[in-house]
Structure 1
Amino acid sequence: MDYDSDDNEILESGVVDAGEKGGLSSCGYCGKLRNLNAVELMCWQCGSWFHESCISYQLGKLVPFMLNYSFTCKNCSSTGVEAFRKSQAQLRDMCITALANLQHASSKDGKGNTMFSLQRDVIPFLEQNWEALTTAARRSTQSWHTTLQRMLMKEVDTYFTVEETGESGEPSQHHPFFGLLTADLTLIRPIVDAPAQQQQSGKGRGAKRKMPETTAGNKKARGDMPAPKLHGYPVDHPFNKDGYRYILAEPDPHAPFRQEFDDSNDWAGKPIPGWLYRALSPGAVLLALHDRAPQLRTADDRLAVTGDKGYCLIRATHGVSRGVWYWECTIEEQPEGSHTRIGWCQQLANLQAPLGYDKFGYSWRSRKGTVFHESRGKHYYDGSFGEGDVLGIMIDLPEKNPVSQFPPTYKDKPLVKFRSHLYYEDKDDVPEALKNLKPLPGSKMIFFKNGKCCGEAFRNVYGGTYYPGVSLYKNITVSVNFGPDFKHPPSSYEYRGLHERCEESMVERTLADMTYLVENEGKLRLDVFT
């Protein structure tokens, strides 16, 4: 990359050419102006700034005006997930950060100082914030003080200014004083390691990583593997299992005391209040990466899945509780002896079992066209379905379904950290859920084969929220189509494609979160959280 081009005026120092216009830009997520009082990160790809409080990635301890990092926002990331890496900083970069913080603090205090003593101000700041500034180990002796002063003097008139004596012409005990050559702190930007970033975006180590979805027998060279495109979900994530569910969380900008929490250093190693975050709403209806049996292999676009050995289940990201909804799936590959069951299931349906194994699922089996619920099969359709067939799956849930209009907010649940991301942890209560299951009069499920209606498979199903479900036996591959472009749209029914649930779900979740904050106004305080 040509650093002298018009498109990239960022110098290796992390300070922009003084000829460029400064000023506060807006956050690339929330749209609010930059806040120099707190940590902010700049995306190396789009150049936008982002408040730390708006970033989902758990960054660790940082200080404002840092230079030694690379950050990719979720808008630019090929996976839709933020990426952050802090590198080892040079003394020059650490001094730029230190002087910028000292200058900003002086401006806030009304003093407006721009020159600071090396011994009294700069070195104490570096020692106090060493771990936040760099990944290098602390210096064991004070010989680096001399090295630091030598470096600063060498870079005078390039990055720094110096005052070696006082007004009397004699140096005081606090001299020399140093300051930044560029007084506008908004021009300070991170070092852009362009060649390394280009490698990560195409042929570097980031793109070579072997994905869990690859088969054990795949002999393709690692360098030939395409970059993952996982639509906004971390590659390494906890699975829903052992009676616990994990819901990806993001900062809630509307939560009370959000800024106070971000500015505080007292929360290291302590539980984070769940109400400061919110459940992330997926941007599209896809197969869920976390809500599946781990042995199932999903395609990069999360619209196809391949089985492995015994029956196990994967759910979609969005569920429905009222109305008539429709989706399709296609049997892409069906090796001999492999089968599938497709249909609808609630969140508590067993992932390590075929769909229709328990009371929470209803399915149509490829073998003999049998339908299943509670492990009981009954004749439904004369003939099987197999490779190349397109299946339509419809559900009709009356408005009197007792399920709440609002989804759970999880704001009262504990947050757990996993690979630099936060997740709500929710414990399943299967006995209570079973006790509350009641048939929903007028509800029904209908299946279609290659555009032909096969009739009602189930009537008066249990009330609840139902998700598209696919269970697979051995290495069969099934692709899904949640709309809007269906291969065989049912012409005799009024329905909605499941793709419409995406925006609708975002609105419902936002209303649920806001309702929680209003109902608990005055109770959500950092000083009483335990």
Structure 2
Amino acid sequence: MSPAYLKLPTYRPGEVDAIPRLPLYLPSPVHIDIKDPITDQPIELYFTEDHPFNRRGFRYVPCEATPLFSKLKYTQIEIPPYGPRVNIEDISMQILVDRETGTIVSTDKGHRMARANVGVREGKWYWECKILKGNLFNGDGNVRAGWTRREASLETPVGFDAYGYGVRDVTGQKFHISRGTDFMPEPFQAGDVIGFYISLPSISYQLDEASSKSKSSLGLSTETGNDVVPNIIRDRIPIKYKGQLYFEQFEYVPAKEFQDMLNQSSSDDVAMRETLLKEKGLLNSSIKVYKNGKFMGTPFEYLLPFLPPHSAPLSSMAARVVDDNSLGYYPSISVYGGGAAQFNFGPNFDFFPEDLKQEASSETLDTNKVRSMSERYEEQIAEDVVWDIVDEIDFTFNLDDSDDDDEDYKSERNG
């Protein structure tokens, strides 16, 4: 639900059903020679401009005014290219992307990252990364790929910090908190398809586990119910940026304890760090990696939990935000010096692993079924509609908001 203290401005009549203003696509001044794997035609890559990029402390999502919600007034929208793709607001400004599908990324700079516009919070999911140019030893740039959270820095490779888990093309190593360790027996390069599977326990279990640990630390009973549900609070206001409406909301930022881990280098530090990460990690969570459909192994287990208090916003006022329903793990690709890769969210995969097909064929929609990220995209949109309805109801029954709270909120957002 939306916080009761948040008052949304009234929209202008012309903003209702306005045609979304698309970002400006600027051709790259540096040519990166990549071709479509199917048609063998050259692929043009672009910088995107005239839209807000997520920055430290704030995050942006396209929205529009709607008369369907008399209190909420605004709703989140999708802009072309429609479907699961790169989130152009959640990429480094130096990332190049194709205009047709929004799934191909590259850069002529140092390590830069792009995240998908769809993330996961529970269940079993799969996506593929097709290497178009990679393996620095061949002079074709560098690619890393895997899963990252919203806190992961976009100006670094996947696996640089505690909020990302990735594998590297040059050595086939796995990376987490900038520590590379041997994983794949050989590197991967242009033409290879790397599959990424993730398994996360149910949100109910995660909340139950967090509640038990909190009570245990206080010496209280750890008995909890089976119907634990998240308290979704979407603290966001509409702003206009170059003619397009966006929701501006508080972003979650790295915690100091995990930032400090980046500076640990001694063997004793690393050993203590590994123990701490395992203690904090989610039971029954893991990431599996495949190369051209062949199982490479399970490089990561006990993934770090993402629900509050493990994810926290920068602002003290934003501490009111518990969970905005976008916390979780996102398919992510980082590129370097001309490296290029393509997201494939399914359902048509190049190499869907044989050992996952039986799980994927289940007719149920429980957390034991492996699903494609394209399914999650549709589910994510449905969830957003549901929370819009919940927010509208919440606003309707909280009409006695004080002006003082509203002014405090505005003062905090304006720094």
> Which category describes the TM-score, using the shorter chain as reference length?
0.5 to 0.7
By how many angstroms is 1:398 displaced?
1.4
Q: 2:29 aligns with which of 194, 209, 216?
A: 216
Q: State the distance in 2 between where 1:472 and 1:364 align.
A: 12
- Confirm or deny that 1:514 pairs with 2:389: yes
Corresponding residue to 1:276 among 73, 77, 87: 73
For residues 255 and 210 of structure 1, do their structure 2 counterparts lie closer, same or farther at Cα, with a shift above 3 Å needed?
closer
Instruction: Return the offset for 1:467.
Output: 0.4
Determine the C-alpha separation between the residues in 2 that align with 1:210 and 1:82.
9
Measured at CA, do residues 463 and 252 of structure 1 come closer, stay the same or move farther in structure 2, by a change above 3 Å?
farther
Q: Which residue of 468, 478, 484 corresponds with 2:347?
A: 484
Residue in 2 that maps onto 1:445: 287
Structure (1 or 2) with the greater strand fraction: 2
Deviation by residue 1:198-246 (Cα, 9 ceiling, x = unmatched): xxxxxxxxxxx9833x221459xxxxxx9x999xxx9620111233211
Give CA deviations for 1:469-528 in whole Å, capped at 9, x if unaligned: 001111111011100110111121221110001221112111112112222324358996
Pair 1:342-2:141 in alignment: no
2:355 aligned counterpart, secondary structure: coil
* Secondary structure of 1:380's aligned partner: coil
> How many positions carry a matched residue from both structures?
304
Give 1 or 2 for the bigger CA radius of gyration.
1
Aligned counterpart for 1:401 among listed residues 206, 220, 228: 206
Distance (whole Å) between structure 2 residues aligned to residue 237 and residue 210 of structure 1: 8
- Secondary structure at the aligned position of 2:335 is classed as strand
Q: Does 1:421 align with 2:244?
A: yes
Where does residue 111 of structure 2 map in the other structure? Answer: 311
Contact 1:409 1:513 in 2 (8 A): no
Q: What amino acid is aligned across from residue 443 of structure 1 in structure 2?
A: S
Distance 1:210 1:314, change over 3 A: closer
Q: Give unmatched runs, 5+ long, in structure 1.
A: 1-37, 40-50, 58-72, 74-80, 84-208, 220-225, 258-274
Asked if 1:470 is matched to 2:333, the reply is yes
The structure 1 residue matched to 2:297, chosen from 443, 451, 455, is 455
CA distance in 2 between counterparts of 1:405 and 1:328 reads 31
Aligned letter for 1:249? C
Distance 1:508 1:327, change over 3 A: same
- TM-score by length of structure 2 reads 0.66
Counterpart amino acid of residue 303 in structure 1? T
What is the CA–CA distance in structure 2 between the aligned matches of 1:408 and 1:308, rounded to whole Å? 39
1:255-294 matches, within 5 Å, as 255-256=69-70, 275-281=72-78, 283-294=82-93
**Distance in 2 separating the partners of 1:348 and 1:389:** 29
Secondary structure in structure 2 of the residue aligned to 1:518: helix
**Aligned residue among 240, 251, 260 for 2:65:** 251
Deviates more, 1:281-290 or 1:491-500: 281-290
More relative contact order, 1 or 2 (CA 8 Å, 6+ apart): 2
Indicate the residue corresponding to 1:302 in structure 2.
102
TM-score normalised to the size of structure 1? 0.52
Whole-angstrom distance in 1 between the partners of 2:232 and 2:93:
25
Q: Helix, strand or coil: the match of 2:383?
A: helix
- C-alpha contact 1:407 1:509 (8 A) present in aligned 2: no
Identity %: 30
Residue identity opposite 1:457 in structure 2: P
Residues 1:351 and 1:421: Cα distance change in structure 2 (over 3 Å): same
Structure 1, residues 321-352: CA drift from partner, whole Å, max 9, x if none? Answer: 11110011111123605111100011111001
The aligned residue for residue 218 of structure 2 is none
Alpha-carbon separation, structure 2, partners of 1:347 and 1:373: 15
- 1:297 deviation in Å? 0.2
The answer as to whether partners of 1:281 and 1:505 remain within 8 angstroms in 2 is no
Runs of 5+ unmatched residues, structure 2? 1-10, 33-41, 211-227, 259-276, 307-327, 360-369, 408-415
